[in-house]
A and B are shown apart, each in its own frame.
Chain A
C-alpha cells in the first residue's frame, strides 16, 4: 500500500512557567492510503499533540522543534499559513471529542457543513447545499432534509457527533483525524458512531488516525496500533501482531489493567505509580520507574526505537529478536 503520511522525528515542546514540557519528543510513524492507525495512550502521553502538530493546531506556548511530516509529497511543517489553510478541512479534517463545543452554536448545521466546501471552492453554492443534505443522509440523521437547517442544540449528543463527521467528510479528505470521537458518548450511542465511522471509511476510502485511550477499542477497530508513553512511541505494530504478541511492558500493562467485560474476579493487574512529569522525565527508559521488569540499564540508557520483526517496532531493552526476555 502506498504511503499517505510519513512523520519523521517530530518534536513538539511547550514552554511553561516550570520549564519545557516535551510533550512529543522525537516520534516517527506513517499512515498508508485507506489505513486506520490507532494512537493509544493515557492523558499527557502526547497522542493528540503528535497529530495536531501536523496542522499546527497547538496552543500558543507550543512550538514544533524538529521533524518533518510528508503528506502526499509535501512537508506539512514547511508550509506557510496560507498553504496550510488549503490542507486543513480539505485534505485533512478532524472529528473532535466534544461535538457541542466544536460546533458553532449559532449557525445552522447545514451551513456548517457547507462552510469548508465553499471556503475551499470545491463546488458552487447550490451544489454545496445538495451535498450538505446528502452528507446528513449518509451519516444517518433521520429527516435529514429538514434537520439540515436546525441548530446544534436541537440535536442529541450522538446526532451532533454525526454532524461533526459529516463536516469532516465534506471535502472528501484523504485523512480524517478522529480525536477520542466516542469518549463523550453513552455506550449504545458509541457503538452506533463506531459503526458509522467504519461505513464512512468504506464509502470514502479515507485514511483515519483514531486517537483513543481505550486499547480494547483500538484492538478491534484499527489496522495498526501505536502506543505512546510520556511523549514517545513505545510500540508500533499491525493490530494482528499486537494482539498476538504485545512486546512492550507498558502495552502488556495497559492490556492487563483494562477491565474486560468477561474479566475474572481478582484478575486485574494494575500498573503501579503515575505517568511521569514531562518537564523532568525519568532518565533512560521513561517507563522504567513503573516497569515490573526494569533492570539497571533501563534507568541509564534510553532504549532505541527499532524494528524487532517485520513492521513491528518497540523501544525496550528487554525485547530481542521479536521476543520479550525478562
Chain B
C-alpha cells in the first residue's frame, strides 16, 4: 500500500513565560491508505496538538507533513484548500463543533458549498445519503443540533466529516464525552465506516480499549514525544516501554469467572510539567527501572522488530 501520510520530525513549541512548552517534539510516523493509527496518552501528552498540527489548524514550527504526495507546510491558499478537502476532523464536543444557527442538513452541506460541489439538488441528495450512512435517517434534515442528544450530535459531526469523501480523518476523542451505551454505538459506527470507505484515521483517545478496537497500529505519547509505536496486537501483547506497560496494567479489566481486582497497578507520581523537561528520558521521574544513562541521554525512537518502535535505553 502506498503511504498516504508521512509526518517527519514535526515540532510545535508554545512560548510560556520566556520558556517553551514542547507540546509536540520531533514526532515522525507514516500512515497507509485505509490504515488507522491510534494515538494514546494522558492529558497534556500532546496528542491533540499533534492531530491539529497535521491539519495545520495549529501551525507547526518545524517538520514535514507529506499528504498524498505534497508537503502541506509548503502549500498556501487555494492549493492548501484543495488538499485539505481530503483531510477532516471530528471533535470531542459535538455540540460545540456544530453551528447552532444552522440545521443539521445545513451543517453537513456546508463543506460541499465551500468546495463548490454539485447543484443544490445534488447536495441535498448527498446530505440525505450521509444522514442514512451515520444512522440518523433523512427525516432529521431540518432539525437543529440542540434538539439532538450527544450521540446524535456526534453522528452529525461524523456525517459532516464524511461529506467531502476524505482520505484522512483526525478523530480527536470522539467518544469521550458520551455515555457508555452511546459510546458503543459511535465506536461501532466508526468501525463500520472504516471498513466501508477505506478512510485512514488518526484516532486520538485516552481510552486504551477503544483504541485497540479501532486501530491498526498504535502510538503512545508521553510529554510531546512518541515513546512506543507498533502494530496493534504487538503493542498490546508485547509492550516494551515501561510507560506503555504501566498504562496497560492500570486499566481495570472486566472480571470474568469472578476474578476481581481490588487493587490496580498504579504508576507512581503524575505527568510532570512539560515546560521544564529534565535532561535525558522524559519518563525518568516515574520509571521504576531508571538508570544513570536515562538521566543523561534522551533515548531515540528505534525500530526493535519490524514495525515496532521504542524509545527506551533498556530495550
Residues of chain A at the chain B interface (Cβ within 8 Å): 42-43, 156-159, 186-192, 194-195, 198, 213-217, 219-221, 239-240, 243-244, 253-255, 257-263, 265-266, 268-272, 274-275
The residue among A192, A195, A261 with the most chain B CB atoms within 10 A of its own CB is A261
Once the chains are docked, how many angstroms separate the CA of A255 from the CA of B179? Answer: 13
CB neighbours of A274 from chain B (8 A):
149, 151-152, 182
In the complex the two chains form, is A194's CB within 8 Å of B255's CB?
no
Known contacts being A188-B247, A257-B181, A274-B182, is A198 close to B262, with CB within 8 Å?
Answer: yes
Q: How many whole Å from A29's CB to the nearest CB in chain B?
A: 21
The residue among B42, B152, B264, B265 with the most chain A CB atoms within 10 A of its own CB is B264
In the complex the two chains form, is B213's CB within 8 Å of A219's CB?
no
Once the chains are docked, how many angstroms separate the CA of A156 from the CA of B266? Answer: 16
In the complex the two chains form, is B267's CB within 8 Å of A191's CB?
yes
In the complex the two chains form, is A191's CB within 8 Å of B250's CB?
yes
Once the chains are docked, how many angstroms separate the CA of A262 from the CA of B247? Answer: 14
Once the chains are docked, how many angstroms separate the CA of A127 from the CA of B273? Answer: 36
In the complex the two chains form, is A42's CB within 8 Å of B179's CB?
yes
Q: Which of these, A43, A239, A265, contacts B260 with CB under 8 Å?
A: A239
In the complex the two chains form, is B180's CB within 8 Å of A258's CB?
yes
CB neighbours of B263 from chain A (8 A):
194-195, 198
Q: Which of these, B181, B208, B236, B261, contacts A254 with CB under 8 Å?
A: B181
In the complex the two chains form, is B253's CB within 8 Å of A262's CB?
yes
B99 close to A (CB within 8 Å): no
Residues of chain B at the chain A interface (Cβ within 8 Å): 42-43, 149, 151-152, 179-185, 187-188, 191, 206-210, 212-213, 236, 246-248, 250-256, 258, 260-268, 270-271
Known contacts being A186-B43, A270-B184, is A260 close to B270, with CB within 8 Å?
Answer: no
CB neighbours of A254 from chain B (8 A):
180-181
* Interface contacts beyond A220-B262, A261-B251: sample of 6 additional A-B pairs, CB < 8 Å, sorted by A: A187-B42, A187-B250, A188-B270, A221-B252, A268-B191, A274-B152
B263 nearest CB neighbor, chain A only: A195
CB neighbours of B181 from chain A (8 A):
42, 253-254, 257, 270-271, 275
Known contacts being A188-B267, A219-B254, is A261 close to B209, with CB within 8 Å?
Answer: yes
Once the chains are docked, how many angstroms separate the CA of A188 from the CA of B250? Answer: 6
The residue among A188, A194, A275 with the most chain B CB atoms within 10 A of its own CB is A188
In the complex the two chains form, is A219's CB within 8 Å of B260's CB?
yes
CB neighbours of A268 from chain B (8 A):
184, 187-188, 191, 213
Once the chains are docked, how many angstroms separate the CA of A262 from the CA of B249? Answer: 12
Once the chains are docked, how many angstroms separate the CA of A158 from the CA of B42? Answer: 13
Once the chains are docked, how many angstroms separate the CA of A198 from the CA of B264? Answer: 10
Q: Which of these, B188, B208, B253, contacts A187 with CB under 8 Å?
A: B208
CB neighbours of B236 from chain A (8 A):
261
Q: How many whole Å from A141's CB to the nearest CB in chain B?
A: 12
Once the chains are docked, how many angstroms separate the CA of A261 from the CA of B271? Answer: 23
Once the chains are docked, how many angstroms separate the CA of A271 from the CA of B185? Answer: 7
Closest 7 CB pairs of A and B: A257-B184, A270-B184, A191-B264, A191-B266, A259-B209, A186-B42, A191-B250
Once the chains are docked, how many angstroms separate the CA of A269 from the CA of B247? Answer: 26
Q: 21 A–B contact pairs at CB < 8 A?
A: A42-B181, A186-B43, A187-B251, A188-B246, A189-B42, A190-B264, A191-B266, A192-B266, A195-B266, A216-B255, A220-B253, A220-B255, A239-B260, A243-B256, A254-B180, A259-B210, A259-B212, A260-B209, A260-B254, A270-B181, A270-B187
Q: Which of these, A42, A243, A261, A275, contacts B208 with CB under 8 Å?
A: A261
Once the chains are docked, how many angstroms separate the CA of A195 from the CA of B262? Answer: 8
CB neighbours of B264 from chain A (8 A):
190-191, 194-195
CB neighbours of B253 from chain A (8 A):
216, 220, 260-262
In the complex the two chains form, is A261's CB within 8 Å of B184's CB?
no
Q: How many whole Å from B40's CB to the nearest CB in chain A?
A: 9
Known contacts being A186-B42, A192-B266, is A261 close to B258, with CB within 8 Å?
Answer: no
